[in-house]
Amino acid sequence: MVDFNNLIDLQIEIFILMIIGYILRKINIISKENRKSLTDLVIYIILPANIIYSFMIKMDETIIKSGFTILIVSIVIQLGCQVFGKYFFIKTHSRQRSVLQYGTICSNAGFMGSPLIQGLYGLDGLLFASIYLIPQRIVMWSGGVACFTSTKGKEVVKKVITHPCIIAVFIGLIIMIGQIKLPNYLYVSIKTLSGCTMSLSMIVIGGILAEIRFRDVISKLTIYYSFIRLILIPLLVLFGCIIVKLPILVTAVATVLAGMPAGSTTAILAEKYNGDSKLAVEIVFLSTALSLITIPLLCLIINMVV
């Protein structure tokens, strides 16, 4: 039987951090100018450190073989999410569409999913989660960032490959593939910066949340997005894994991670690149709140059918 305590605790932690950001904005400790500076700090320092740290996993022949299946599944899911993001929101305004596309491509599987998977399925599950996240981390800082750019062709490529987070992905891949061991002082510095990711990201989101009305959070568009992100995508993944008869742990990890809410970077990038940051915060907030219900139900369904 799955223990949901870790899930509940993590989701409550996320909301507490959002509330802190909300209060700090309301009492003007975080002003609009300060929030933009915090956003730059997250994008240029904290997130790159988190990305590099996430690639610091030990690889051997056994891990490569056992993780190959989950890697292929993750790649297929990313391709599917690209299609969903492109066509499911085609009638929305361009600023809204960029946010919804990114939110469909990039979930909160990194910040929220990894500790949840460890709590539900142990260290083997955490290893699979780490491998699952590799394609998403690459896509979210390449095709994902491109969702917010108005340039095309070579300009998009140039803008994406020079982004600090995609540079961090390249560095991380080199470290992981080459199994490079960094000096301890550098490793500890990266780990410490990485540990600030969720707290700073959620505080920034809370600050943006302070400038919108709560009744605007629930709308046809945000509910429609949440249905796709939290229900449609993970159910398609679950039944796809069952059809091809994948191992139980691979099926469970892929399905739970596919059902994570919108990633906090949706709001961070919308704020940075003049996207609809209001809508971005709304879908992050609502999908995270609804995931308190959908993720436990998803776990129950997995237990019943696999």
Return the CATH architecture of domain 5-305. Answer: Up-down Bundle (1.20)
Measured CA to CA, the distance from residue 236 to residue 232 in angstroms comes to 6
Mean pLDDT of all residues belonging to the chain: 84
255 — pLDDT class (breaks 50, 70, 90): very high
- In the prediction, which pLDDT does 153 show? 57
Measured CA to CA, the distance from residue 45 to residue 48 in angstroms comes to 6
- In the prediction, which pLDDT does 131 show? 82
- In the prediction, which pLDDT does 62 show? 63
pLDDT per position as a tens digit, 68-91: 888 899 999 999 998 888 889 988
Q: Which residues lie across from 61 on neighbouring strands?
A: none
For residues 158-186, give the mean pLDDT.
83
Q: What percent of the chain has pLDDT over 90?
A: 25
Measured CA to CA, the distance from residue 16 to residue 24 in angstroms comes to 12
Q: How far apart are the first and last CA of the chain?
A: 13
Which tops the pLDDT comparison, 296 or 229? 229
| Residue 25 clears pLDDT 80, i.e. is over it | yes
Measured CA to CA, the distance from residue 95 to residue 83 in angstroms comes to 18
Query: 306 CB contacts (<8 Å, ≥6 apart)?
Result: 238, 241, 242, 248, 251, 252
Measured CA to CA, the distance from residue 38 to residue 15 in angstroms comes to 19
0.85 surpassed by pTM: no
114 — pLDDT class (breaks 50, 70, 90): confident
pLDDT per position as a tens digit, 208-219: 778 777 777 899
For residue 116, give the nearest of 250, 2, 16 by alpha carbon. 2
178 — pLDDT class (breaks 50, 70, 90): confident
Structure tokens given for 277: 């940051």
How many CB atoms are located within 10 Å of the residue 75 CB? Answer: 16
